[in-house]
Amino acid sequence: MKIETKLIHFSKGIILESGEKLDSFDLMVETYGDLNENKSNAILLCHAFSGNHHAAGKNDDFGVGWWDQLVGPDKPIDTNKYFVVCCNNLGGCAGSSGPASTNSSSGKVFGKSFPQVSVLDWVNSQKMLMDELNIDYWHFIAGGSLGGMQALQWSISYPDKVKKAGIFAAAAKSSSQNIAMNEVARESIRKDENFHNGDYYEHKVIPKNGIKTARMLGHITYLSEEHMDSRFGRKFQDEGSKVEESVSFEVENYLQYKGEQFSELFDANSYILMTKVMDSYDAGKDKTLVEALKDVKAELLIVGFYSDWLYPPERGKEIQIAAMNNNIKSSFVVLQGDHGHDSFLFNSETYSNLISNFIES
């Protein structure tokens, strides 16, 4: 598979939904395969909360791509046929401009001064990327969770640029429970003594404990009760492989391990920023969702998973109903999914057939 990873600089900057302006910014971009002659085979993948530009294949920095099960040669999103694009979103911490980047006008790290971005800002910056890559329209835009929100917003904001959109394990807006979970995560970061009100970079520390606790909580919300029971049950952790002395159960050890690993990779300010993007998203905003979708031309494939309690299938159904009221060619399918909210990341026969049939139809 042909993979290209590059940092693209946007010197003219972007005016954000909040009214603030980023004078210039960078996006870390990965592409797979080749754009064909008539430029009809471009696919955009939008990453979820803690994802990045590395969607497929394996590299030293990020290991296996977050959607490698579905993206690659002869996979449902087939890189032999399609030119697949994925970027680290603005405000992230995998190479694109974010709180941990240096502000070119002050020469200092942004820290908490990095402006709050939104799903719409991401879509607008991806549109700038699209122009940069000389792509006229996306044959397909897809994403799960927060990525699905971007796919939906693309269809709303740029109706002529999207032929098909895949909205998986997503919602048109976050629920009160979603926001509540995110606030607990943010609080754990803010209360870490190394957080320094977001300017921990100059103290040469990171609020590691805070990010770790936040991630441990987040991780629970991504899995289903059934999945955790079948995977860990009430099994005890072997003495020899404990990552933390205090743990008794395997599930505790697992969360400790995952939290620890994540806290070394992810920037705390990005964590706060990304969760706020998720919380603030509301496709309908001051209108109803039906009104918000009135200009959508893309065909939609909305997939929910029964085992997902973070963005349960009912959230997808709301989008489907609004789409049908607008006479949009939209499908809504609920699959079992074995991994709770994370199910959108994993291959299953029906899921992959749906995606490849939808792309090819």
Partner 1 sequence: MATRLSKIINSWVPENSKVIDFGCGDGSLLKELFENKQVLGYGVEINDLKIEKCIEKGIPVIKLDIDKGLNDFMSSNFDLSIMARSIQCLKNPDLALNRMLDLSKRCVVTLPNLGYWRCRINLASGKMPITPELPSSWYETENIHLCTIKDFENLCLKENISIKDKVFINRSGNQGGLSKINPNLFAVEGVYLLEK
**Closer by beta carbon to partner 1, 188 or else 320:** 320
Alpha helix positions (H), 49-202: 119-132, 146-157, 176-190
Q: Which of 308, 330, 339, 342 is catalytic?
A: 308
Please give the helix or strand (H or E) that residue 89 lies within, else none. Answer: none
Q: Kindly state the smallest distance separating residue 337's Cβ from partner 1, in Å.
A: 12
- Residue 78 corresponds to which tokens in the numbers above? 């087939």
Catalytic site includes residue 341: yes
Q: Kindly state the smallest distance separating residue 159's Cβ from partner 1, in Å.
A: 17
The rounded distance, in Å, linking the Cα atoms of 108 and 91 is 16
**Closer by beta carbon to partner 1, 3 or else 301:** 301
Residue 158: CB atoms within 10 Å: 20
Instruction: Check if the beta carbon of residue 304 is closer than 8 Å to that of residue 274.
Output: no
Q: Kindly state the smallest distance separating residue 323's Cβ from partner 1, in Å.
A: 9
**Closer by beta carbon to partner 1, 235 or else 329:** 329
Catalytic site includes residue 131: no
Contacts of 142 (CB under 8 A, 6+ apart): 43, 44, 45, 46, 77, 148, 151, 165, 166, 167, 168, 355
Residue 1: CB atoms within 10 Å: 13
**Closer by beta carbon to partner 1, 269 or else 320:** 320
Site for partner 1, rule CB under 8 A: 299, 301, 317, 320-321, 324-325, 327, 329-335, 350, 353-354, 357-358, 360-361
Q: Kindly state the smallest distance separating residue 170's Cβ from partner 1, in Å.
A: 16
The rounded distance, in Å, linking the Cα atoms of 183 and 163 is 36
- Terminal Cα-to-Cα distance of the chain (whole angstroms): 24
**Closer by beta carbon to partner 1, 88 or else 330:** 330
**Closer by beta carbon to partner 1, 189 or else 328:** 328
Catalytic site includes residue 18: no
Q: Kindly state the smallest distance separating residue 258's Cβ from partner 1, in Å.
A: 31
Q: Which of 54, 224, 341, 342 is catalytic?
A: 341
Residue 273: closest CA among 209, 204, 189, 213: 189
Q: What percent of the chain is helix, strand and coil (3-state, nearest 5)?
A: 40, 20, 40
b (16+ CB within 10 A) / e for 76-110: bbbbebbbbbbbbbbbbbbbbbbbbbebeeeeebb
Q: Between vectors from CA 114 to CA 110 and to CA 118, what angle results, nearest 5°?
A: 155
Q: Which of 50, 97, 118, 145 is catalytic?
A: 145
**Which residues carry out catalysis?**
145, 308, 341
